[in-house]
Amino acid sequence: MLAALVKAGHSNTRARRAVIAAICETGGQASPADLLASGRVHHPALGLVTVYRTLEILLELDLVRKLHTDDGCHSYAPSTHHHGHHVICQQCQRAMEFEGCDLETVVAAVEARTGFQVRSHWLELFGVCPECQTKSVR
Amino acid sequence: MLAALVKAGHSNTRARRAVIAAICETGGQASPADLLASGRVHHPALGLVTVYRTLEILLELDLVRKLHTDDGCHSYAPSTHHHGHHVICQQCQRAMEFEGCDLETVVAAVEARTGFQVRSHWLELFGVCPECQTKSVR
DNA sequence: TTACTTGCAAAAACTTTGCAGGCGC
DNA sequence: GCGCCTGCAAAGTTTTTGCAAGTAA
């Protein structure tokens, strides 16, 4: 992640390393405030503004994906596959990326029915992750 | 929409009629601020707070759906089908609801691959609506 | 050294809450 | 007339912007 950043012409700074580490450490998604907290473990003087600015760069380079949470604020997750979506645990908030969404059928049906030309899509799944399933069985 | 509201025990007030009219008039989605502007045509004294409060009620009754836009704020669209998603025009922002998303295959694949138990999902399609297609051909 | 980065503070944007007066029923 | 509803103002959140000091290369 750092390598790609540098390759794109950005500096390798302590603050950016801290933000990247924070993103990688969260099992999945994290809000900017979460990232600030985890990032400060690596770089205590880290500021929230820098978290936002670093995320902006990472988004542009497609190294990170922006997820929408229902409570109004956004969260961010590392992007590992090329065309990826996320499945999010409703209990522990862990997010896992998956690839290969076969939406061709759905897209074709919608195009036929609405007359729209579909260019892109956006999908998030919600459920329970393996670990939380085990826990809740007891 | 009004009928359902009243049936659920809410009063039939001028402000609520204005908000509902505003939602129905927008071809598809609209932000709270948009709704305030359109609503004021019907009820000039309408306040933004009332727009939010009315939307909250309509959401609860499933008469309206909340969409997420990338620019940070939310937008709302009337909900006509029971389990519906929206396809949104990237040019004119018009939103159209569609039903029948065949995600079973995708969901099954993801469950097999990640171990998650998928409980719900969230899908938005983006493209160009029939009218904008015509316009751009010329 | 030079230009890019940073972090604080302040501002902006969006949403929620408190409360006195108004309106539906 | 009673109680829900409204709209203003103010507060709370999240995100963006300005700027002087700091750091990478």
Give which of A71, A65, A72, A73 is closest to A29, Cα–Cα.
A65
pLDDT in tens, B102-134: 777 788 888 888 888 887 787 878 788 888 888
pLDDT of residue A57: 96
CA dihedral A109, A112, A115, A121 (to 10 degrees): 20
Q: Is the pLDDT at A127 greater than 60, yes or no?
A: yes
Give which of B67, B73, B32, B64 is closest to B51, Cα–Cα.
B32
How many other C-beta atoms can be found within 10 angstroms of the C-beta atom of residue A77? 22
Closest approach of chain A CAs to the CA of B71, in angstroms? Answer: 11
pLDDT in tens, A61-119: 989 988 877 666 788 988 765 567 888 777 776 778 887 667 778 888 888 888 888 87
Give which of A54, A63, A109, A108 is closest to A84, Cα–Cα.
A63
Q: Is the pLDDT at A30 greater than 50, yes or no?
A: yes
Positions in chain D where some atom is under 7 Å from a protein CB: 4-10, 13-18, 23-25
pLDDT in tens, B75-108: 898 886 556 787 877 777 677 888 766 777 788 8
Closest approach of chain A CAs to the CA of B98, in angstroms? Answer: 7
- Cβ density class B67-99: b for 16+ within 10 Å, e for less: bbeeeeeebbbbbeeeebbbbbbeeebbbbbbe
Q: Do A123 and B127 touch (CB under 8 A)?
A: no
Positions in chain C where some atom is under 7 Å from a protein CB: 4-9, 13-18, 23-25
> Among 3.40.50.720, 1.10.10.10, 3.50.50.60, 1.20.140.10, what is the CATH number of A2-137?
1.10.10.10
A69 touches strand D (CB under 7 A): no
pLDDT in tens, A42-53: 999 999 999 999
Residue B46 amino acid letter? L
**Of how many residues is chain B composed?**
138
B49 touches strand D (CB under 7 A): yes
DSSP A47-69: -HHHHHHHHHHHHHTTSEEEEE-
What is the maximum span of chain B, computed from C-alpha positions, in angstroms?
A: 55
Give which of A120, A125, A70 is closest to A96, Cα–Cα.
A125
What is the 8-class DSSP label of residue A92?
T
How far is it, in rounded angstroms, from Cα A124 to Cα A68? 9
Beta-bridge partners for B53: none
Q: Do A128 and B105 touch (CB under 8 A)?
A: no
Confidence of residue B138 (pLDDT cuts 50, 70, 90): very low
> How many Å from the CA of A31 to C1' of D23?
27
A13 touches strand C (CB under 7 A): yes
Helices vs strands, H then E, count in chain B: 6, 5
Q: Where do the DSSP E strands lie in chain B?
A: 64-68, 74-78, 84-89, 95-99, 117-128
* Mean pLDDT value of segment B59-66: 90
Phi, psi of B47 (to 5 degrees): -110, 155
> Mean pLDDT in chain B?
85
How far is it, in rounded angstroms, from Cα A17 to Cα B3? 56
Give which of A82, A104, A96 is closest to A127, Cα–Cα.
A96
Q: Is the pLDDT at A138 greater than 60, yes or no?
A: no
| Greater pLDDT, B1 or B42 | B42
How far is it, in rounded angstroms, from Cα A50 to Cα A10? 14
Residues of chain B positioned with their CB less than 8 A from the CB of A102: 105-106, 109
